[in-house]
A and B are shown apart, each in its own frame.
Chain A
Amino acid sequence: MTSPSALARRAAPMFACIGLLAVWQVASLALKNDSFPTAIEAIRAIPDILGDKESLINILASLRRMAIGFGIAVLVSIPLGLLMGRSRAVAAFFNPLLMVIYPVPKAALMPIIMLWLGVGDITKTLVIFLGVSLPVIYHSFEGAKAVEEKMLWSGAAMGLSPLQRLVRIVLPAALPEILTGCRTGLVLALITMITSEMIARQSGAGNILFNALDMGQYDTVYAMIIIVGAMGICLDAVFERVRARLVRWSEPQFDMPLSFS
């Protein structure tokens, strides 16, 4: 289990992080640009942000919105995607609508939804929900479509009702694919969260980032970038753990995540 090569593979992302930070450090030293602080300066600014109570509350509020939006999106999208995958009629009904919505940047709906619902939590959570649901629907759809017919037939022969078949055969069989969608959705939730907050400048991590940019506090800008990036990497790693546990039987199709925006 912990052979040297496995250990090296596990530590490789860590080395990559250090390597990227080192490249940054050298580049900023070489450029000597006021608006491009060195990596060490940026890292030094992180404790100031995380130590400040107000910004910490802001970041936690962002994360809460993201969790709620992601949770609702997953709960709605997986059943819809599975139904689309198993029923041709449902798929034909929803596919064109989803295709029209897909290229619209969800965060771009912010200004319009803001007009209706105000600048509060509901608007931002709704936008995150919209952003997450499309990839999850898409992957659940693909997963459910690929379920082997024979298993469904056996299930039907043993007297399972259509709903039972959906829950007990299609859902587990499509789970690896669904989780790939959820992973994409997770990255997307983070992106939508940041963008929605920089469009409605009121609170949250995106607000801190872009306020710092406007006020020329460049080390805060870069420190926030590191914080947000670390959030993305940590969430992804945690999700990967959960995924590995849930679908231990299946080989990971993409061991590197597919990012979406």
Chain B
Amino acid sequence: MMPRSLSANVIFGLAPIVLVIALWQGLVSFGFAPVVLLPPPGVVFGRLLKQLVTWTFQQEIAATLIRLFAGFAIAVVLGVSIGIAAAASPAINAIVRPIVRVLAPLPKVALYPALLLLLGFGHGSKITLVAADALFPILLSTYYGASTVEQKLIWSAMAAGTRRYEILFKVVLPAAMPSILTGCRIGLVICCIVVFLAEMITSTDGLGHVLVTAARTFQAVDMFVPLIAISLLGLILNGLLGAVRSYLLRGFPEA
């Protein structure tokens, strides 16, 4: 029963994607949109496949991925540790909370010019921007998860003689894990978006740069290729994170 309904759902869910592609093809083949502006989907996917095996395109993807992972890793480490610290200690909470309130709604992209001036045009400024953007969702959901840990669990651990800092690792962190992973998921999507934008604004490599170069030369086909590439990249990374999630949360009631 379960697998059958699942596969039915998959087919049902694929329908709108197929519809969009069919509509796209229809717009082109019935001449509503000139091929120069809207290349047919077959051409775009063909170009994507051809590009994927070339060394230069792989290097662009690698450049994007390095920045994405570096930024994401920094955001996870900082976000989780600050979030747990703020939930555990009222003193840290009093300092962190107002700063987060001010910094979280601030559009980080606006900081990019400042980062460019301070850190240069290389990896540094882009990784910092990615990390800054992904940090807050991870921090907030960690804080939320850690501050809603059931007090009884902590009391039991203390009664069993666990030391204070051990409680953080043995009780609070695992209990907050589902919430942390939700934050990581949001952060990961943000990383994909921000790294692409940063590369579009100023860069010499990466997928965003490919898009901008194509736009400057009006190569519509090449403009679609990096967009589809980043969408696929996001899906793959999301799937990987889902796998990590179901591994880490094995044994949780509803993982």
Contacts and interface: CB of A to CB of B under 8 A. Distances in A.
Given A97-B20, A254-B144, A236 B196 contact: no
SS class of chain B's interface: helix, strand, loop or mixed?
Answer: helix
Given A92-B9, A93-B16, A221-B114, A99 B238 contact: yes
B105 interface: yes
B137 interface: yes
A213 B102 contact: no
B15 A103 contact: no
Contact of B194 (A12, A198, A254, A261): A261
Interface in B94-126: 94, 97-111, 113-114, 116-118
Contact of A261 (B108, B224, B231): B108
For chain B, give the interface size range: 35 or more
Interface residues of A, number: 62
A156 interface: no
Nearest to A210: B113
B212 A111 contact: yes
A13 interface: yes
A244 to B, nearest CB: 14
A228 B208 contact: no
A102 interface: yes
Contacts of A100: 17, 231, 235
Interface in B13-53: 13-17, 20, 33, 37-38
B74 interface: no
Contact of A191 (B9, B15, B107, B214): B107
Contacts of A35: 117-118
A259 B234 contact: no
Contacts of A115: 37, 218, 220
Contacts, number: 184
Contact of A232 (B13, B106, B234): B106
SS class of chain A's interface: helix, strand, loop or mixed?
Answer: helix
Contacts of A112: 215, 220, 223-224, 227
Contacts of B149: none
22 contacts: A13-B101, A20-B99, A93-B12, A96-B14, A96-B17, A97-B20, A100-B231, A102-B234, A106-B193, A108-B196, A187-B104, A194-B110, A195-B109, A213-B116, A225-B114, A228-B110, A232-B107, A253-B144, A254-B140, A256-B140, A257-B104, A258-B141
Interface of B: 9-10, 12-17, 20, 33, 37-38, 94, 97-111, 113-114, 116-118, 133, 136-137, 140-141, 143-144, 186, 189-190, 192-194, 196-197, 200-201, 208, 211-212, 214-215, 218, 220, 223-224, 227, 230-231, 233-235, 237-238
Q: A-B pairs with the 10 shortest C-beta distances? A: A103-B234, A16-B98, A111-B215, A96-B13, A12-B98, A236-B105, A35-B117, A105-B193, A228-B110, A103-B192
Interface of A: 12-13, 15-17, 19-20, 33, 35-36, 89, 92-97, 99-109, 111-112, 115-116, 187, 190-191, 194-195, 198-199, 209-210, 212-213, 218, 221-222, 224-225, 228-229, 232-233, 235-236, 253-254, 256-261
Given A103-B234, A104-B231, A105-B193, 8 more contacts: A16-B101, A36-B118, A93-B13, A105-B230, A111-B215, A115-B37, A213-B117, A261-B109
